[in-house]
Chain A
Amino acid sequence: MLSRTADHLYWMARYTERAENLARMLDVSYRMSLLPQASEVVEQSWLATLSIIGVIDAFRQLNKPATPANMLNFMAFDRNNPSSIYNCLKAARENAHAVRGTLTSELWETMNSTWLEMRDIGKRKHSDAEIGDFFEWVKFRSHLAHGVTQNTMLRDEAFHFTWLGTYLERADNTARILDVKYHLLLPDEDELSSNSAADYYQWSALLHSASAFEIYRKVYSDVITPHRVAELLILRSDLPRSLHRCMSQAYMHLCDVRNAHSAETERRAGELQAALRYGRIEEIFETGLHDYLMRFIDRIKDLGERVARDFLVSATGE
Chain B
Amino acid sequence: MTTPYNEMHDAEHHVRKHYQELAAWLDTTPAERIAQKRAEADVLFRRVGITFAVYGEEAGTERLIPFDIVPRIIPAAEWHQLAAGLRQRVRALNAFIADIYHAQDILRAGRIPPEQVLCNVQYRPEMQDIDVPGGIYAHIAGIDVVRAGQGEFYVLEDNLRVPSGVSYMLEDRKMMMRLFPELFARYSVAPVEHYPDLLLDNLRGVSPPGVNDPTVVLLTPGACNSAYFEHTFLAQQMGIQLVEGQDLFIEDEFVYMRTTRGPRRVDVIYRRIDDDFLDPLAFRADSMLGVPGLLNAYRAGHVTIANAIGTGVADDKSIYPYVPEMIRFYLGEEPLLSNVPTYVLRRAEDREYVLAHLAELVVKEVHGAGGYGMLVGPASTREQIEKFRERIIATPERYIAQPTLALSACPTFVESGIAPRHIDLRPFVLSGMQVTMVPGGLTRVALREGSLVVNSSQGGGTKDTWVLEQ
Residues of A bordering B, CB below 8 Å = 1-6, 94, 97-102, 105, 108-109, 112-113, 116, 157, 161, 257, 259-260, 311-312, 314, 316-318
**Nearest Cβ distance between residue A187 and chain B, in whole angstroms?**
46
Q: For A259, what are the chain B residues with a Cβ–Cβ distance below 8 Å?
A: 260-262
Is the CB–CB distance between A1 and B259 below 8 Å? yes
Task: Please state if A108 and B246 are interface contacts (CB–CB under 8 Å).
Answer: no
Which B residues lie at the A interface, using CB under 8 A? 46-49, 222-223, 231-233, 235-236, 241-244, 246-247, 249, 251, 256-263
Give the nearest-CB partner of B239 in chain A.
Answer: A101
Instruction: Tell whether, in the assembled complex, residue A101 and residue B242 are in contact, meaning their CB atoms are under 8 Å apart.
Output: yes
Interchain CA distance A249-B258 in the complex, whole Å: 26
**Would you list the 3 A-B pairs with minimal beta carbon distance, nearest first?**
A101-B232, A101-B236, A101-B235
Cα A2 to Cα B222 in complex, Å, equals 14
Distance to closest chain B CB from A199 (angstroms): 46
Q: How far is the CB of A273 from chain B (nearest CB, A)?
A: 22
A-B contact count (CB 8 A): 74
* Bound Cα distance from A101 to B243, whole angstroms: 11
Given known A-B contacts A2-B243, A101-B233, A101-B235, A112 and B262 have beta carbons under 8 A apart? no
Q: 17 A-B contacts, Cβ less than 8 Å apart?
A: A3-B260, A4-B258, A6-B260, A97-B223, A98-B222, A99-B242, A100-B232, A101-B231, A101-B235, A112-B47, A112-B48, A113-B47, A157-B260, A259-B261, A316-B249, A316-B258, A318-B262
Task: Write out the residue numbers on chain B whose beta carbons fall within 8 Å of the beta carbon of A105.
Answer: 48
Q: Which residue of chain A has its CB nearest to the CB of B233?
A: A101
Instruction: Report the bound CA distance from A86 to B247 in whole Å.
Output: 30
CA distance A209 to B231 in the complex (A): 41
Determine if B249 and A2 form an interchain contact, defined as CB atoms under 8 angstroms apart. no
Contact across chains for B48 and A3 when beta carbons are under 8 A apart: no
Given A2-B243, A112-B49, A116-B46, is A314 in contact with B258 using a C-beta cutoff of 8 Å?
yes
**A122: min CB distance to chain B, Å:** 15
* A318 partner residues in chain B, CB cutoff 8 A: 262-263
Task: Kindly provide the distance from the CB of A70 to the nearest chain B CB, expressed in whole angstroms.
Answer: 28
Residue of A nearest to B256 (CB): A317
With both beta carbons as reference points, the residue of chain B lying nearest to A95 in the complex is identified as B223
Given A259-B262, A260-B262, A311-B260, is A2 in contact with B247 using a C-beta cutoff of 8 Å? Answer: yes
Expressed in whole angstroms, the minimum distance between the Cβ of B39 and any Cβ of chain A is 16
Q: Which residue of A lies closest to B263 (CB)?
A: A317
Minimum CB–CB distance for B336 against chain A, Å: 37
Min CB distance, A191 to chain B, in Å?
Answer: 49
Q: Cβ of B232 and Cβ of A4 under 8 Å apart?
A: no
Kindly list chain A residues whose C-beta atoms are within 8 Å of the C-beta of B244: 4
Taken together as a complex, chains A and B put the C-alpha atoms of A116 and B263 apart, in Å, by 37
Least CB distance from A162 to B in Å reads 13
Task: Give, as a whole number of angstroms, the nearest-CB distance from B20 to chain A.
Answer: 36
Given A2-B243, A97-B223, do A257 and B260 touch, yes or no (CB 8 Å)?
yes
B251 nearest CB neighbor, chain A only: A317
A161 to chain B, nearest CB (A): 8
- Does B48 lie within 8 Å of A2, measured CB to CB? no
Distance in angstroms from A202 CB to nearest chain B CB is 41
A82 smallest CB distance to B (angstroms): 16
Q: Kindly provide the distance from the CB of A111 to the nearest chain B CB, expressed in whole angstroms.
A: 9
Chain B proximity of A93: nearest CB distance (Å): 9
Assembly CA distance A311 to B46 (angstroms) = 33
Q: Report B41 CB to chain A, min CB distance, Å.
A: 15
List chain B residues, Cβ under 8 A from A116: 46-47
Most buried by A among B46, B236, B263: B236
Given known contacts A2-B257, A6-B260, what 12 new A-B pairs fall within 8 Å (CB)? A1-B260, A3-B260, A97-B223, A101-B232, A102-B242, A108-B48, A112-B48, A157-B260, A161-B260, A259-B261, A314-B260, A314-B262
Nearest-neighbor residue (CB-CB) of B44 within chain A: A109
The answer on a CB contact under 8 Å between B236 and A3 is: no
Question: CA A314 – CA B231 in complex, angstroms?
Answer: 24
- Residue from the list B46, B49, B258 in contact with A2, Cβ < 8 A: B258
Judge whether B259 and A314 touch: CB under 8 Å: yes
Contacts of A1 on B, CB cut-off 8 Å?
Answer: 241, 259-260
A1 and B240 alpha carbons, distance in the complex (Å): 11
**B223 near A109 (CB under 8 angstroms)?**
no
Is the Cβ of B236 less than 8 Å from the Cβ of A4? no
Residues of A within 8 A of B263 (CB): 317-318
Most buried by B among A2, A6, A116, A312: A2
A312 to B242, CA, bound (A): 16
Residues of B within 8 A of A4 (CB): 244, 246-247, 258
B231: chain A residues within 8 A (beta carbon): 101
What's the Cα separation between A102 and B232 when bound, in Å? 8
| B243 partner residues in chain A, CB cutoff 8 A | 2
Please report the C-alpha to C-alpha distance between residue A145 and residue B328 in the assembled complex, in whole angstroms. Answer: 59
Residues A3 and B247 in contact, CB atoms below 8 Å apart = yes
The residues of A that contact B49 with a CB separation of less than 8 Å are 97, 100, 108-109, 112
CB neighbours of B251 from chain A (8 A): 316-317
Query: Considering only CB atoms, which chain A residue lies closest to B252 in the complex?
Result: A317
A6–B260 Cα gap in the complex (Å)? 7
Determine if B48 and A109 form an interchain contact, defined as CB atoms under 8 angstroms apart: yes
| A3, A100, A257 interface centre (most CB from chain B within 10 Å) | A100
Distance of A312 Cα from B263 Cα, bound (Å)? 13
Would you give the shortest CB distance from B11 to chain A, in whole angstroms? Answer: 46
A315 nearest in chain B by CB position: B258
Residue of A nearest to B262 (CB): A318
Residues of A within 8 A of B247 (CB): 2-4
Residues of B within 8 A of A157 (CB): 260
